[in-house]
Amino acid sequence: MSTEDIFEVEIKDVYNYRLSYGGQSAYFHGLQAGKMVGSKCTGCGFVWVPLRPVCSHCYETAEEYPLSGKGEILTSILLPQIPEHLRHLNAPVATALVLPEGADTCIKAFVVAHNNVTLGKGTRVKAKYLPKINSIADFYFVPEESGD
Ligand SMILES: [Zn+2]
């Protein structure tokens, strides 16, 4: 059989389903309410962001732990293209590793750089939340000094 003999058709499949964030729901409820919520291990005290219901270090339960939503850039790089869900902000966007205040983990997040603020290591940032939360990427940070 040659490739010309293979019969092919175009098919479009659309699946609608409801995705559950399960034990991480408190993190997403927090984002929806404009708050950053991590979890603190009841065994070793490690603070996870994003929230983990079970500690990956000692496997004890980790409980919801509210955070300030502020943090510090560990490293960042400006993106050549703005992610579609942040284009309405009309500002340069970097991807960064941010150490949230009070957390023992860092999180990869977008940082919006209004007013050409430098986004170097140590830059203090604060979280901003999109009106509709669907994913972990539906918030971003801005430098505290930007006044946003
Ligand atoms: Zn632990």
Task: Find the 59 Cα to ligand 1 centroid distance in Å.
Answer: 6
- At 147 the pLDDT is 62
d(CA 66, CA 36): 6
Q: pTM of the entire structure?
A: 0.84
Q: Quote the ligand 1 centre to 85 CA distance (angstroms).
A: 35
C-alpha 111 – ligand 1 centre gap (Å): 29
pLDDT at 110: 96
pLDDT of residue 113: 87
Tokens of 10: 């175009």
Q: Domain limits of the chain?
A: 22-146
Neighbours of 142 (CB within 10 A): 22
pLDDT digits (tens, 9 = 90+) for 53-89: 999 999 999 999 999 999 999 999 999 999 999 999 9
Rounded distance, CA 99 to CA 110, Å?
13
Mean pLDDT, residues 37-59 taken together: 97
Kindly tell me if the per-residue pLDDT of 127 is higher than 80.
yes
Q: Which of 4, 34, 53 is nearest to 131 (CA)?
A: 34
Residue 71: in which H helix or E strand, if any?
strand 70-78
Output the CA 17–ligand 1 centroid distance in Å: 33
% of the chain with per-residue pLDDT over 90: 86
